[in-house]
């Protein structure tokens, strides 16, 4: 609502981005490593949010494509001896190519089934990765030193380089998703978020839009996978396809931050990293706490922290083009909401 | 050679009975409430740990303890639906999936805190070792009994759903909850009953599993996936189809396990995916 | 004598949208009242509001002096209001018998039993073990009506039971209504088909954009006046 508030928020955002860009000159190696991880997580959260928040696809198998990216990168560099600079885009492409048949199979499942379908697919990809010759089997293997050295001869250089790459990935993922949401396709996606039936009846081709989104996320997830391989300097089925790190945490981040906005996933990721600094020692209790919080959020504030901000009159810092104003109607939740044709929703 | 294959098939079929037990509750919640309970496997594991603790304290057979706990299992299912899941009804698939997802993480980590990561198994007594010689193959008495129990449970559920008045009400709500509400058949009162029945199937599955196989706090998801695949393979809304689905999963796993442990799961998933491509509605779908 | 149903200043809201405005209506025991009105006039919302199944409802509705606001749908049905919903709303995979039995179980005790319903609609006896979705539209409507009647209502609410059916079938359905009334049951008939519902009614009310625009006895109202209040001033 209030312009000063919006300007203030945007100023903070701009300062944040600038500080990130100047990161290598501002932060020590330790912080840079944490931030590298942060950008990977932001990328993953943006992708999960695109699917859950706009395309109505709940993925519990996002880790599958992350792992594929990591393994593809390892294959192109360590096994085929390609330059890392060729291998990075090729890894993204490989992930996309693998996403196509995966999509073709699991999209035979609808809605709730699809969620478990993505999980099965990710499990299959992980098990196959453990069988590939040259990748170290079930226990995985390290990236060869010569491959790693291509990113910088000294450790400090490499830390800067990995930082820059993951920052670049997060920025591109963000800008590309923003552009997608502001495009004509995004109009349909936003309509789908606000009322799926309305989107369907107003001629948006739901299935094609869903497929597009699913495939859209694949190369970004693959690139995030490359970054995880670089961060850990190894690939392994359990680590590269880790459901906790690449999907479960991400779901918590997006749910708590706010599904269906661009700000939510970022807000959630910041919160997640802060919480983790304080609560990491509590181990399982930390995840239990996140589980409880996220159930509470779903029940009482379904649009998360950012949704709450919106209701308090906070404007979208990054309007995704077609977002409804705070006064826009939610879905009808009367006793017969299920039978009410969407057209009845006023608006 | 033929004998080995026959043996693999028979043992696979029998373990399919266990998978069918995992899957029955999921089949019900999908068929009636139209949602996938992501915490389904974890709730079964939770029940297994409850049995572990109680048999430890009481020193009784796990089956006896399970029998006594049946009303508790019904009550837990009822409470879960009434006070948690019911709040998400009519709001699309996202909230219910995410709530059960959160529940799954809470149960897994709660069990991890309470019991640690070690694998456990319950003792079922002498029956575990008993075997019958059927022609060229040995069949364990316990697996056979579990399979028969699965068949009996399905027959019982079928009779409950198709022969009783409350069963007809559950099917009515499954058909059209809004229509039910309009004529005073309050869906919000029927769903918890259905979930209570799901709770009973979970407890039965938990007792059979905890004597048959090792379990630890982290195995819930793999049980969920197997159950899910059995349900989809069999076809939605068909309890007997779910049994066949479980059998197919069991046989596929058994053949895969001849290569190694990861092929066991891979074979299971691949059979599922192939079936999905050629028969997405399942083998015995009630359309 | 208090009327069976008395409604005062009833409003129905769907979020911010108001579908029914300050409607007053009374229905006496054994009376047949017809509600007419264009599509979207709020007729269905009004009927559903009587059984607490329409958005947010304000105002008062009493059945035989008993305030319905405090009751759930289930209790209202048990007290004696049964709705034949728009679009029939059967349970498609249940058999005819099961559909009917659910109506009976939820309703009041009374003398309308399966035998009576089968007498009114003999085809339902023949097809009692078929699934509802296998029936023709007319037969489905008979099940819906039978389901409501088996609840032994004191007040029967019929929402567009003629919709999409052949005239012969509609005649068959409407032939039942006077017989139902003879048992002392009051009936509210909602139709868009004006002549059909005026023919059977003692009294009528016309809804226009959620408000009562005209009411009276069928004999006293001429067609032009009705049309005017049906479609609003423009016509
Ligand atoms: N569940 C609902 N949510 C929102 N609006 C509704 C709902 N049901 C009906 N309406 C609106 O209320 C108005 C009256 O509808 P309805 O009662 O069905 O009219 P009628 O039965 O006279 O055709 C219409 O404008 C309709 O769009
Ligand atoms: Mg209507």
Please tell me the predicted confidence (pLDDT) of residue A327: 38
**pLDDT 10s digits, C179-221:** 999 999 999 999 988 888 888 999 999 999 999 988 888 888 7
**Interface contact B183-C77, CB threshold 8 A:** yes
Mean model confidence pLDDT for chain A: 85
Rg (CA), chain C: 17
The answer as to whether A82 is a domain residue is: yes
Rounded Cα distance between B23 and B227, Å, is 4
Our CA angle for A83, A88, A90, nearest 5°, is: 95
pLDDT one-digit tens code per residue, A21-66: 887 888 888 889 999 999 999 999 999 999 998 888 999 999 999 9
Comparing CA positions, the residue from C78, C77, C79 lying closest to residue C66 is C79
Q: What is the pLDDT of residue C4?
A: 92
**Of A195-199, A321-325, B91-95, B198-202, which range is least confident?**
A321-325
Q: Is residue A122 part of a domain?
A: yes
Inter-chain touch A288–B276, beta carbons under 8 Å: no
Q: Residue A162 CB: number of other CB atoms within 10 A? A: 22
Chain A CB contacts of B92 below 8 Å: 56, 196, 331
- Percent of chain A, pLDDT > 90? 58
Q: At what angle do helices A111-129 and A84-106 cross, to 10 degrees?
A: 140
Q: CB distance from C74 to chain A under 8 Å? A: no
Q: Shortest Cα distance from C135 to chain A (angstroms)? A: 22
Task: Give the chain B residue nearest C52 (alpha carbons).
Answer: B182
pLDDT: which is higher, B254 or A309: B254
- Please report, for chain B, how many H helices and E strands are present, in that order: 11, 2
Residue percentage of chain B with pLDDT more than 90:
80
DSSP state of B138: E
Hey, what domains does chain B have and what are their CATH numbers? 2-278 (1.10.3470)
Q: What is the mean pLDDT of chain C?
A: 92
C193 burial (CB, 10 Å; 0-12 / 13-18 / 19+) is middle
pLDDT of residue B33: 85
- Sequence-ordered strand ranges (E) for B28-183: 131-134, 137-140
pLDDT at A321: 53
Residue C44 CB less than 6 A away from ligand 1: yes
Find the domain containing A169 and state its range: 21-241
> Which pLDDT value is given to residue A331?
36
**pLDDT of B283:** 80
A58, A128, A196 ranked by CB distance to B97: nearest: A58
Q: How far is it, in rounded angstroms, from Cα A10 to Cα C80?
A: 61
Burial of B56 (0-12, 13-18, 19+ CB in 10 A): exposed
Tell me if chain A has a CB within 8 Å of the CB of C39.
Answer: no
Quote the number of domains for chain A.
1
Taking an 8 Å cut-off on Cβ atoms, the answer to whether C83 and B183 are in contact is yes
Q: Roughly what angle, to the nearest 10 degrees, separates helices B2-28 and B220-234?
A: 90
Instruction: Name beta bridge partners: B132.
Output: B139
C82 and C153 in contact (C-beta within 8 Å)?
yes
* CA of C86, closest atom in ligand 1: 21
Phi, psi of C77 (to 5 degrees): -60, -40
Residue C89 confidence (pLDDT): 95
> Atom of ligand 1 at shortest distance to CA of C37?
22
Beta carbon of C19 within 6 Å of any ligand 1 atom: yes
Q: What would the mean pLDDT of A176-181 be, rounded to a whole number? A: 90
Using CA atoms, how far apart are residues A265 and A254, in angstroms rounded to an integer? 5
Instruction: State pLDDT tens for residues A265-306.
Output: 999 999 999 988 888 778 788 899 999 999 999 999 999 999
The C residues from 1 to 20 touching A (CB cutoff 8 Å) are 14-17
How large is the average pLDDT for residues B237-264?
Answer: 93
**pLDDT at residue A326, rounded to an integer:** 39
CB contact (8 A) between residue C89 and residue B176: yes
Whether the CB of C41 sits within 6 Å of ligand 1: yes
Contact assessment for residue A174 and residue A261, using Cβ atoms and an 8 Å cutoff:
no
In a domain? residue A103:
yes
Query: Span B178-194, mean pLDDT?
Result: 95
Q: Is A341 a member of any domain?
A: no
- At A124-148, the pLDDT tens digits run 999 999 999 999 998 999 999 999 9
pTM as predicted: 0.90
With the most atoms of ligand 1 within 8 angstroms of its CB, the residue from C14, C157, C159, C231 to mutate is C14
Between the CA of residue A307 and those of A122, A186, A202, A261, A324, what are the distances in Å? Answer: 31, 19, 26, 8, 12
Which residue among C21, C23, C40 is best mutated to probe the pocket of ligand 1, counting the most ligand atoms within 8 A of its Cβ? C40
| C147 contacts B184? CB cut-off 8 A | no
In this predicted structure, what is the pLDDT of residue A187? Answer: 75
Mean pLDDT of B178-206: 96
Q: Are C156 and C174 in contact (CB under 8 A)?
A: no
- Which atom belonging to ligand 1 lies closest to the Cα atom of A343? 27
Which of A329, A335, A336 lies closest to C15 in CB terms? A329
Is residue A340 pLDDT above 60, yes or no? no
pLDDT at A329 over 50: no
Q: Residue C181 belongs to what H/E stretch?
A: helix C167-182
Chain B interface test: which of C78, C93, C152 (most B C-beta within 10 Å):
C93
Pick the ligand that lies closest to the CA of residue A334.
1
Ligand nearest the Cα atom of residue C37: 1
Contact at CB, A120 and B91, closer than 8 angstroms: no
Task: Give the list of residues 6+ apart from residue C114 with CB closer than 8 angstroms, or none.
Answer: C100, C104, C150
Find residue C5's DSSP bridge partners.
Answer: C27, C63
ipTM of the complex: 0.92
Ligand 1 within 6 A of C88 CB? no
Q: Is the dihedral of CA B235, B238, B240, B246 positive or negative?
A: positive
Angle subtended by helix axes B187-212 and B141-163, to nearest 10:
170
Query: Are A336 and C53 an interchain contact pair (Cβ–Cβ within 8 Å)?
Result: yes
* Residue pLDDT, tens place only, B20-77: 999 999 999 988 888 899 999 999 999 999 999 999 999 999 999 999 999 999 999 9
In A155-236, where does DSSP find H-type helix? 155-182, 184-194, 196-201, 206-232
Distance from CA of B285 to the nearest CA of C (A): 13
Q: What is the pLDDT of residue A198?
A: 58
| Least confident piece of the model among A287-291, A331-335, C1-5 | A331-335
User: Which CATH number is C5-88+155-231 given?
Assistant: 3.40.50.300
Q: Among B232, B262, B276, select the one facing A130 at the smallest CB separation.
A: B262
State the average pLDDT over residues C63-83.
93
* Per-residue model confidence (pLDDT) at position B129: 85
Q: In terms of Cα–Cα distance, which of A92, A62, A60 is closest to A168?
A: A92
Do the domain assignments include residue A129? yes
> Is C43 a pocket residue for ligand 1 (Cβ < 6 Å)?
yes
- Judge contact between A238 and A130, C-beta under 8 A: no
Residue A330 touches partner B, C-beta closer than 8 Å: no
What is the residue extent of each domain of chain C?
5-88+155-231
Residue B177 and residue B270 in contact, taking contact as beta carbons nearer than 8 Å? no
C-beta atoms of C83 and B168 within 8 A: no
Q: Does C234 touch chain A (CB under 8 A)?
A: no
pLDDT for the residue numbered C1 = 63
Q: How far apart are CA A347 and CA B18, in angstroms?
A: 51
Question: Does the structure show a pLDDT above 80 at A323?
Answer: no
Q: How far apart are CA B274 and CA B47, in angstroms?
A: 33
- All residues of chain B having their beta carbon less than 8 Å from the beta carbon of residue A121 are 273
For C86-106, write each residue's pLDDT tens digit: 999 999 999 999 999 999 999
- Contact indicator for A173, A163 with CB cutoff of 8 Å: no
Tell me, in angstroms, the distance from the centre of ligand 1 to residue C234's CA: 22
| Range with the poorest average pLDDT among A202-206, A210-214, C13-17 | A202-206
Per-residue pLDDT, averaged over B160-181, amounts to 95
**Model pLDDT, residue A199:** 57
- What pLDDT sits at residue A1? 47
| Set of chain A residues whose Cβ sits within 8 Å of the Cβ of C55 | 334-335
| C156 DSSP β-pair partners | C82, C187
A265 inside domain: no
- Find the ligand nearest to C54 CA: 1
Q: Is C22 exposed, middle or buried (0-12, 13-18, 19+ CB in 10 A)?
A: middle
The pLDDT of residue C221: 78
CA of C44 to the centre of ligand 2 (A): 4
A339 within ligand 1 shell (Cβ under 6 A): no
Cα separation, B148 vs B153, in Å, equals: 8
């Amino acid at each position: 609502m209030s312009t000063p508030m919006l300007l203030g928020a945007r100023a903070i955002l701009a300062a944040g981005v600038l500080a990130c860009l100047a990161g290598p000159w501002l932060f020590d190696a330790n912080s840079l490593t944490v931030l590298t991880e942060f950008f990977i997580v932001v990328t993953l959260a943006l992708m999960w949010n695109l699917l859950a928040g706009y395309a109505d696809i709940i993925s519990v198998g996002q880790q599958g494509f992350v792992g594929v990216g990591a393994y593809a990168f390892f294959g192109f560099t360590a096994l085929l001896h390609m330059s890392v600079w060729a291998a990075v885009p090729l890894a993204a492409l490989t992930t996309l190519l693998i996403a196509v048949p995966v999509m073709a199979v699991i999209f035979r499942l609808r809605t709730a089934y699809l969620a478990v379908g993505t999980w099965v697919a990710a499990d299959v990809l992980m098990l196959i990765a453990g069988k590939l010759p040259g990748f170290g089997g079930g226990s995985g293997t390290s990236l060869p030193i010569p491959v790693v050295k291509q990113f910088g001869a000294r450790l400090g250089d490499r830390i800067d380089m990995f930082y820059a790459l993951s920052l670049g990935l997060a920025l591109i993922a963000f800008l590309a998703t923003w552009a997608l949401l502001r495009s004509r396709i995004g109009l349909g996606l936003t309509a789908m978020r606000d009322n799926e039936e309305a989107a369907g009846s107003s001629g948006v081709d739901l299935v094609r839009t869903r497929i597009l989104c699913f495939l859209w996320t694949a190369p970004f997830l693959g690139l995030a996978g490359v970054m995880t391989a670089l961060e850990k300097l190894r690939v392994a089925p359990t680590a590269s396809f880790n459901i906790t790190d690449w999907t479960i945490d991400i779901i918590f981040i997006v749910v708590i931050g706010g599904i269906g906005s661009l700000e939510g996933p970022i807000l959630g990721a910041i919160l997640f990293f802060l919480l983790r600094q304080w609560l990491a020692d509590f181990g399982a209790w930390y995840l239990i706490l996140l589980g409880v919080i996220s159930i509470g959020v779903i029940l009482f504030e379904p649009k998360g922290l950012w949704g709450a901000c919106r209701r308090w009159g906070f404007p979208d810092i990054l309007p995704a083009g077609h977002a409804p104003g705070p006064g826009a109607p939610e879905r009808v939740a009367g006793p017969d909401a299920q039978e009410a044709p969407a057209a009845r929703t006023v608006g | 050679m033929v004998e080995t294959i026959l043996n693999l098939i028979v043992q696979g079929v029998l373990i399919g009975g266990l998978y069918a037990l995992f899957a029955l509750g999921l089949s019900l919640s999908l068929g009636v409430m139209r949602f996938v309970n992501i915490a389904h496997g974890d709730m079964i594991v939770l029940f297994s740990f409850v049995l572990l603790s109680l048999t430890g304290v009481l020193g009784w057979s796990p089956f006896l303890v399970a029998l006594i706990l049946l009303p508790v299992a019904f009550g837990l299912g009822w409470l879960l639906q009434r006070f948690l899941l019911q709040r998400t009804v009519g709001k699309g698939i996202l909230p219910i999936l995410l709530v059960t997802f959160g529940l799954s993480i809470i149960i897994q980590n709660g069990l991890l805190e309470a019991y640690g990561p070690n694998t456990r198994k319950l003792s079922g007594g002498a029956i575990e070792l008993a075997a019958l010689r059927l022609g060229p193959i040995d069949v364990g008495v316990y697996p056979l009994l579990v399979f028969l129990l699965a068949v009996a449970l399905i027959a019982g559920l079928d009779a409950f759903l198709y022969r009783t008045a409350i069963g007809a009400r559950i099917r009515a709500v499954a058909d059209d909850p809004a229509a039910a509400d309009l004529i005073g058949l309050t869906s919000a009162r029927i769903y918890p009953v259905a979930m209570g029945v799901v709770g009973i199937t979970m407890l039965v599955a938990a007792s059979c599993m905890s004597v048959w196989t090792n379990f630890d706090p982290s195995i819930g998801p793999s049980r969920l996936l197997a159950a899910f695949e059995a349900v989809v393979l069999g076809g939605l809304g068909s309890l007997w189809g779910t049994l066949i689905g479980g059998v197919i999963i069991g046989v596929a796993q058994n053949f895969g396990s001849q290569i190694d442990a990861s092929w066991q799961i891979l074979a299971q998933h691949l059979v599922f995916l192939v079936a999905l491509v050629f028969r997405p509605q399942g083998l015995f779908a009630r359309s | 004598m208090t009327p069976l149903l008395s409604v005062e200043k009833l409003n129905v809201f769907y979020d911010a949208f108001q579908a029914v405005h300050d409607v007053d209506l009374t229905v006496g025991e054994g009376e047949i009242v017809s509600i007419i009105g264009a599509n979207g006039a709020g007729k269905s919302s009004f009927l559903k509001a009587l059984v607490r199944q329409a958005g947010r409802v304000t105002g008062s509705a009493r059945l035989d002096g008993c305030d319905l606001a405090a009751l759930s749908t289930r209790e209202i049905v048990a007290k004696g209001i049964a709705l034949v919903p728009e679009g029939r709303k059967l349970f498609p995979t249940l058999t005819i018998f099961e559909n009917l039995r659910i109506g009976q179980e939820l309703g009041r005790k009374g003398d309308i039993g399966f035998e009576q319903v089968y007498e009114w609609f003999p085809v339902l006896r023949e097809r009692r073990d078929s699934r509802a979705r296998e029936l023709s539209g007319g037969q489905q409507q008979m099940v819906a009506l039978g389901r409501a009647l088996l609840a032994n209502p004191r007040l029967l609410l019929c929402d567009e039971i003629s919709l999409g059916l052949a005239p012969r079938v509609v005649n068959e359905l409407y032939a039942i209504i006077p017989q139902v009334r003879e048992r002392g049951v009051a009936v509210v008939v909602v139709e868009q088909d004006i002549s059909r519902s005026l023919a059977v009614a003692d009294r009528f009310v016309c809804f226009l954009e959620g408000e009562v625009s005209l009411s009276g006895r069928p004999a006293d109202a001429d067609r032009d006046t009705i049309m005017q209040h049906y479609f609003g001033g423009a016509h």
